[in-house]
Chains A and B, each alone.
Chain A
Amino acid sequence: DTGVSQDPRHKITKRGQNVTFRCDPISEHNRLYWYRQTLGQGPEFLTYFQNEAQLEKSRLLSDRFSAERPKGSFSTLEIQRTEQGDSAMYLCASSVGGNYGYTFGSGTRLTVV
């Protein structure tokens, strides 16, 4: 499968725990994006990388959130001290350049209890 892969598909965690999600983009795509989506809303931009450089972070990304893309390939998104409001679908997408359509992964659905 040469699409965007995300792991895990589902994560249930207790409030206060840390969680980490992984995204493997399409190999020839140099841009990687993280979005968050809650019920009834469209995906909201969190951050993006061009190769290994993190070029932009949304104000939605509090200091409990950190993302890395160490070798310009896969990326991780970590949430520390999770809160119930963090419950959402976390979507990763990749693209060639910034103004082309993105390919999304299947997402990681996080539930904080």
Chain B
Amino acid sequence: RKEVEQDPGPFNVPEGATVAFNCTYSNSASQSFFWYRQDCRKEPKLLMSVYSSGNEDGRFTAQLNRASQYISLLIRDSKLSDSATYLCVASWGKLQFGAGTQVVVTP
């Protein structure tokens, strides 16, 4: 079993719609959580940290559920430029990445 698991998608989303997806992590000792965005053949870039209280950054909302060991990301009013792979990350001393969820926003 992988330490961080994600639905690989793709999630095909019409422009302007909302999309949400989760990931689960296996290590209950994980201390920090993040979402990274990765464009094709590029390096991962930090999108946002994830806090227990939930947090927003513009059109992006992240939630952490420690009891159930899952993290979610919601994207509102999707833009074509949101098309990317979103990597879920849990950290226990070092970052452990999921395999990514592909999002494709269509016109």
**Contact of A33 with B94 in the complex, beta carbons under 8 Å:** yes
The size class of the interface chain B forms with chain A is 20 to 34
A56-84 interface with B by 8 A CB criterion: 56
The size class of the interface chain A forms with chain B is 20 to 34
A21 at the interface (CB under 8 A from B): no
B70 at the interface (CB under 8 A from A): no
Provide the residues of chain B in CB contact with A106, threshold 8 Å: 42-43
Taking A40-B99, A43-B97, A93-B95 as given, write out 16 further A-B residue pairs in contact, using a Cβ cutoff of 8 Å, ordered by the A residue number. Answer: A33-B94, A42-B100, A44-B97, A45-B94, A48-B94, A56-B93, A91-B43, A91-B44, A98-B91, A100-B32, A101-B34, A101-B46, A101-B95, A102-B95, A104-B44, A106-B42
Q: Jot down 26 A-B pairs with beta carbons below 8 A, ordered by A.
A: A33-B94, A40-B99, A42-B4, A42-B97, A42-B98, A42-B99, A43-B44, A43-B87, A43-B95, A43-B97, A45-B94, A45-B96, A48-B94, A56-B94, A98-B91, A98-B94, A99-B91, A99-B93, A100-B32, A101-B34, A101-B46, A102-B46, A102-B95, A104-B43, A104-B44, A109-B41
